[in-house]
């Protein structure tokens, strides 16, 4: 059996790609500066990658499933052009505010991935621009990075939510942080 994998779980909007507020068009996909280079660096350290994204816009019909699929194809293409592959993509379609096991801050997408791909969660990381990303990573037993963006100021850590192990402001910091802690 292959050794358990170590994975970086990636939030999508505002982390891997630029936040566009209910993105519904693959032509609007814009990779976050430095993200692809960072993932390539982490790949060289033996990390693999899973995208874990809440898309409540699917249940509220602000976003269409075919477009989400096209968006993810676009992201995979952008990564593949630099030699980076995604192990898998997990999407929660649960409505905003729903108490659903797969919807972050719950850890369901990460735990499902761990089961599907033999992932060592203790050696894995979760990164995202919202406290719910950090909380999902914590609940799954991963180390966590709060990817703090100008818009992150408007997000609050709910009472009971843990803070992140690390806080980074750009992808170069992410690479350095994981490198040092690895
Ligand atoms: Mg986000």
Look up the CATH number of the domain holding residue 57: 3.40.50.1000
Structure tokens at 11: 């939030």
Known catalytic residue: 11?
Answer: yes
In a domain, 38, yes or no: yes
Ligand 1 center–CA 129 separation, angstroms:
5
Question: What was the pLDDT predicted at 181?
Answer: 94
In a domain, 155, yes or no: no
Structure tokens at 94: 């649960």
Instruction: Tell whether pTM > 0.85.
Output: yes
In a domain, 116, yes or no: yes
Question: What was the pLDDT predicted at 1?
Answer: 54
Residue 166 clears pLDDT 70, i.e. is over it = yes
In a domain, 156, yes or no: no
Q: Dump pLDDT digits (tens) for 91-140.
A: 999 999 899 999 999 999 999 999 999 999 999 999 999 999 999 999 99
Overall number of domains in the chain = 1
Domain range for residue 141?
Answer: 6-150+164-181
Cα gap 117→114, rounded to integer Å: 5
In a domain, 120, yes or no: yes
Ligand 1 center–CA 170 separation, angstroms:
14
In a domain, 89, yes or no: yes
**3-class SS at 70?**
helix
In a domain, 1, yes or no: no
Ligand 1 center–CA 14 separation, angstroms:
5
């Amino acid at each position: 059996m292959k050794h358990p994998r170590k994975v970086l779980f990636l939030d999508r909007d505002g982390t891997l790609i630029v936040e566009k507020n209910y993105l519904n068009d693959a032509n609007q996909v814009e990779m976050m500066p430095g993200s692809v280079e960072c993932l390539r660096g982490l790949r060289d350290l033996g990390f693999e990658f899973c995208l874990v994204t809440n898309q409540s816009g699917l249940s509220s019909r602000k976003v269409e499933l075919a477009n989400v699929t096209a968006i993810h194809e676009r992201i995979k293409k952008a990564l593949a052009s630099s030699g980076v592959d995604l192990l898998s993509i997990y999407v929660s379609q649960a409505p905003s505010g729903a108490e659903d096991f797969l919807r972050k801050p719950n850890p369901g997408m990460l735990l499902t991935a761990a089961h599907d791909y033999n992932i060592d969660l203790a050696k894995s990381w979760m990164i995202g621009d919202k406290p719910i990303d950090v909380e999902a990573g914590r609940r799954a037993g991963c180390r966590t990075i709060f990817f703090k963006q100008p818009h992150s100021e408007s997000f609050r850590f709910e009472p009971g939510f843990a803070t992140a192990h690390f806080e980074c402001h750009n992808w170069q910091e992410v690479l350095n942080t994981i490198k040092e802690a690895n």
